């Protein structure tokens, strides 16, 4: 695969040669090197420069300097792709370690005043995403502290209103926040125990469960205070903690159960999402909500009863005391406010107003939803100081718009000597090249076209050989193909072809297609292109597989648009 970046080397060598030629002879020889963009000519061989040069500005024919054979005025970015076969003794972890070390060297140790180098690899991207999500840990702690403060404040206000404030109420408020965190920890531990992988998206689960699960505890606190207020001053023989707890669970149990199981069911249904990260996120939340429900109806009532013992003792001393005038006035004012509010809600005028308001709200919401354009960008996954932020900006600015390059795999080659099969494969490639966004046949990397040129140049030579030697020149024989791949100008095609070691025949190969467009950096445009690609593949029975560089978002959009349609033998990631 070392020839993948050959255009950069040839372009650089061509510039040095032409500078040397001008220095020695004072003029250029355009026959050997014509360094034009996007296709340059090197000793009669056409080389695609657009694979590696991006953000190119070219000279017009009238403005091009006389002492250069290149029409390239400037190139803002150069991409170099490194592909290699895995060493025999290496495993996946070794490859990831090597990738990380290369990225860390160029982003940390390498220093140049002339160029900026940005390495992009899957392990390094994963590390940067994890580094981003690790910043959520302080947010989880801060969120827990803020929730505890708000919980204590709200419980204090409610307890003062019912004249039930004691310091034991603080344990109600804080444990109401602790139970969801315990549930999140138990849920994640259970998932890992059963073999689920860790995903950075699971960092959100504690915050989500804390925000949702704490409501059930507040319902129990409020119901307990109302129950104690109703029992105050009454001497009932059966008035015990156990009886009050039973009454409490009868009142709030159905509400807590319905809301909790509804949340569990909602996340459970969403866990069937085809996107792995979304599915993992929903499974984690589903299990966490289930644990939170169990803690709320078991652990939390037990904690409440420990404090309730002291509250009942203090309640006996309060029976002889009456509330202050200020508190009585506050309760009366609150009751009057609630009565007025309920009367307002019960009027026909309010009903009409709410219907009109909701109609307008729903209309605006539906219209806004239909106008939404997905604008998910990779830079949302990284911190502002990440080198991948600049790499993502360069990618969006130049790569997608100037050259989007899907790979078309022929997964079952069969007999290449069959002319009908060759014609059919050529027709597939031509259909892709007829799309309006296609960059043309000259930028398509399809080894059979070069092989046809090779055959035409060797026809005369092969006709002069005897029958034994002429086998090597028989079209599409393995001897002929191996000779073709041994030529220096064609040896790079070995990276596009997979041989079957058993039969020594071509098992699979892939073709790279080139597309461009001013809006291809948008996910919606890439989704539209995906649908166009799939419609072409669906017209053929040849075993094909279309692949694009790993792209979670485009796959997510596709599956949610055509979730129930058969997906043929085509994968676009």
Q: How many CB atoms lie within 10 A of CB 538?
A: 13
Stretch 38-57: mean pLDDT: 83
Nearest one of 154, 50, 63 to 442, comparing CA atoms: 50
Q: Is the pLDDT of residue 331 over 80?
A: no
Q: Which domain holds residue 483?
A: 404-561
Query: Residue 289: its pLDDT value, please?
Result: 94
* Omega before 38 within 30 of 0, i.e. cis: yes
Looking at the fold, whether 320 and 174 belong to one and the same domain comes out as yes
Q: Are strands 39-42 and 72-78 parallel, antiparallel or unpaired?
A: unpaired
Q: What is the pLDDT of residues 376-396, one digit of tens each?
A: 667 777 888 888 888 888 888
Name the domain count of the chain: 3
Residue 414 Ramachandran class (φ > 0 left, ψ -120 to 50 alpha, else beta): left
With a pLDDT cut of 90, the percent of the chain lying above it is 15
| Helices 122-134/136-161 angle, 10° precision | 30
| Residue that terminates a domain, selected from 16, 49, 84 | 84
Residue 526 belongs to some domain of the structure? yes
Looking at the fold, whether 232 and 160 belong to one and the same domain comes out as yes
| Residue that terminates a domain, selected from 327, 346, 365 | 346
Query: Residue 332: its pLDDT value, please?
Result: 82
| Residue that terminates a domain, selected from 346, 362, 391 | 346
Query: Residue 552: its pLDDT value, please?
Result: 42
Looking at the fold, whether 78 and 152 belong to one and the same domain comes out as no
| CA torsion through residues 164, 167, 173, 175, sign | negative
The set of long-range contacts for 472-476, using a CB threshold of 8 Å and a minimum separation of 24, is 475/417, 476/416, 476/417, 476/422
Stretch 459-484: mean pLDDT: 67
Query: Residue 46: its pLDDT value, please?
Result: 81
Query: Residue 469: its pLDDT value, please?
Result: 53
Looking at the fold, whether 80 and 140 belong to one and the same domain comes out as no
**What confidence tier does 458 reach under pLDDT thresholds 50, 70, 90?**
low
Give me 92's structure tokens: 């996946």
CATH label of the domain that carries residue 253? 1.20.1640.10
Residue 362 belongs to some domain of the structure? no
Looking at the fold, whether 63 and 206 belong to one and the same domain comes out as no
The H-or-E segment that residue 505 falls in is strand 505-512
Residue 94 belongs to some domain of the structure? no
Q: Is the pLDDT of residue 465 over 70?
A: no
Contact 52, 82 (CB under 8 A): no
Helices (H) and strands (E) in the chain, counts: 19, 9
Stretch 44-53: mean pLDDT: 83
Looking at the fold, whether 79 and 155 belong to one and the same domain comes out as no
**DSSP classification of residue 347:** S
More confident position, 101 or 401: 101
Query: Residue 520: its pLDDT value, please?
Result: 79
* Least confident range of 264-268, 280-284, 313-317, 478-482: 313-317
Residue 517: helix, strand or coil by DSSP? coil
Residue 97 belongs to some domain of the structure? no
Query: Residue 350: its pLDDT value, please?
Result: 92
Query: Residue 376: its pLDDT value, please?
Result: 64
- Looking at every residue in the chain, the average pLDDT score rounds to 81
**What confidence tier does 486 reach under pLDDT thresholds 50, 70, 90?**
confident
Residue 89 belongs to some domain of the structure? no
Looking at the fold, whether 428 and 291 belong to one and the same domain comes out as no
Give bridge partners of residue 497 from the DSSP assignment.
509
Looking at the fold, whether 154 and 278 belong to one and the same domain comes out as yes
Q: What is the pLDDT of residues 144-178, one digit of tens each?
A: 899 899 989 988 888 887 777 788 888 888 999 99
Looking at the fold, whether 78 and 145 belong to one and the same domain comes out as no
Query: Residue 548: its pLDDT value, please?
Result: 60
Residue 490 belongs to some domain of the structure? yes
Q: What is the pLDDT of residues 67-123, one digit of tens each?
A: 777 888 888 888 888 877 788 888 888 888 888 898 889 888 888 888 888 888 888
Stretch 552-565: mean pLDDT: 41
Contact 472, 479 (CB under 8 A): yes
Q: Is the pLDDT of residue 294 over 90?
A: yes
Residue 453 belongs to some domain of the structure? yes
The gap from C-alpha 549 to its chain's centroid, in whole angstroms, comes to: 13
More confident position, 235 or 494: 494
Query: Residue 558: its pLDDT value, please?
Result: 43
* Omega before 36 within 30 of 0, i.e. cis: no
Question: What gap in Å lies between CA 465 and CA 339, rounded to an integer?
Answer: 107
Stretch 491-518: mean pLDDT: 85
Residue 502 belongs to some domain of the structure? yes
Q: Is the pLDDT of residue 570 over 70?
A: no
Looking at the fold, whether 163 and 303 belong to one and the same domain comes out as yes
Looking at the fold, whether 63 and 148 belong to one and the same domain comes out as no
Q: Which residue's structure tokens are 């509330």?
A: 323
Q: Is the pLDDT of residue 409 over 70?
A: yes
* Least confident range of 126-135, 177-186, 387-396, 517-526: 517-526
Question: What gap in Å lies between CA 87 and CA 93, rounded to an integer?
Answer: 12
Query: Residue 186: its pLDDT value, please?
Result: 94
Residue 232: helix, strand or coil by DSSP? coil
Looking at the fold, whether 14 and 154 belong to one and the same domain comes out as no
The pTM of this model reads: 0.66
With a pLDDT cut of 70, the percent of the chain lying above it is 86
H-type alpha helices, 162-240: 169-193, 204-231
């Amino acid at each position: 695969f070392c020839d993948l970046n050959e255009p950069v080397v040839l372009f650089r060598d061509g510039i040095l040669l032409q500078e040397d030629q001008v220095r020695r002879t004072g003029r250029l020889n355009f026959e050997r090197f014509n360094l034009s963009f996007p296709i340059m000519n090197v000793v009669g061989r056409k080389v695609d420069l657009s694979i590696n040069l991006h953000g190119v500005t070219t000279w017009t024919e009238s403005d091009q300097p006389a002492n250069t054979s290149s029409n390239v005025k400037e190139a803002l970015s150069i991409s170099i792709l490194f592909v290699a076969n895995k060493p025999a003794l290496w495993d996946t972890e070794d490859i990831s370690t090597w990738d990380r070390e290369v990225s860390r060297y160029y982003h940390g140790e390498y220093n140049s005043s002339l160029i900026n180098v940005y390495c992009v690899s899957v392990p390094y991207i994963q590390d940067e995403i994890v580094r981003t999500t690790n910043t959520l840990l302080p947010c989880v702690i801060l969120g827990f502290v803020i929730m505890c403060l708000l919980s204590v404040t709200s419980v204090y206000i409610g307890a003062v209103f019912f004249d039930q404030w004691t310091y034991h109420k603080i344990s109600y408020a804080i444990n109401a926040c602790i139970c969801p965190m315990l549930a999140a920890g138990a849920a994640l531990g259970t998932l890992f125990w059963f073999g689920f992988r860790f995903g950075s998206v699971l960092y959100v689960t504690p915050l989500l469960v804390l925000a949702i699960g704490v409501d059930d505890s507040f319902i129990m606190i409020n119901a307990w205070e109302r129950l104690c207020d109703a029992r105050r001053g009454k001497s009932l023989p059966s008035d015990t903690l156990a009886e009050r707890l039973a009454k409490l669970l009868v009142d709030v149990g159905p509400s807590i159960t319905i809301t909790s199981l509804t949340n569990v069911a909602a996340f459970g249904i969403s866990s069937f999402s085809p996107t792995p990260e979304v599915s993992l996120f929903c499974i984690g939340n589903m299990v966490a909500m289930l644990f939170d429900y169990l803690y709320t109806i078991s652990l939390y009532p037990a904690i409440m009863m420990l404090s309730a013992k002291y509250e009942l003792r203090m309640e006996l001393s309060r029976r002889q005391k009456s509330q202050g005038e200020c508190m009585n006035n506050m309760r009366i004012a609150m009751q009057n406010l609630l009565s007025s509010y309920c009367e307002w809600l019960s009027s026909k005028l309010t009903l009409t107003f709410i219907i009109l308001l909701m109609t307008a709200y729903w209309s605006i919401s539906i219209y806004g939803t239909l106008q939404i354009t997905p604008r998910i960008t990779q830079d949302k996954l990284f911190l502002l100081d990440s080198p991948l932020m600049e790499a993502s900006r360069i990618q969006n600015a130049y790569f997608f718009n100037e050259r989007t390059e899907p790979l078309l795999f022929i997964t079952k080659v069969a007999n290449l000597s069959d002319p009908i099969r060759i014609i059919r494969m050529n027709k597939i490639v031509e259909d892709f090249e007829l799309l309006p966004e296609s960059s043309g046949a000259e930028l398509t990397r399809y080894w059979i076209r070069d092989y046809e040129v090779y055959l035409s140049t060797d026809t005369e030579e092969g006709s002069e050989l005897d029958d034994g030697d002429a086998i090597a020149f028989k079209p599409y024989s393995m001897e002929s193909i191996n000779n073709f791949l041994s030529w220096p100008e064609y040896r790079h095609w070995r990276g596009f072809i997979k041989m079957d070691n058993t039969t020594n025949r071509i098992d699979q190969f892939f073709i790279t297609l080139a597309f461009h467009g001013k809006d291809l950096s948008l996910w919606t445009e890439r989704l539209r292109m995906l649908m166009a690609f799939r419609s072409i593949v669906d017209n053929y029975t040849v075993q094909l597989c279309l692949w694009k560089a790993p792209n979670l978002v485009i796959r997510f959009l596709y599956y949610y648009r055509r979730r129930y349609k058969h997906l043929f033998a085509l994968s676009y990631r």
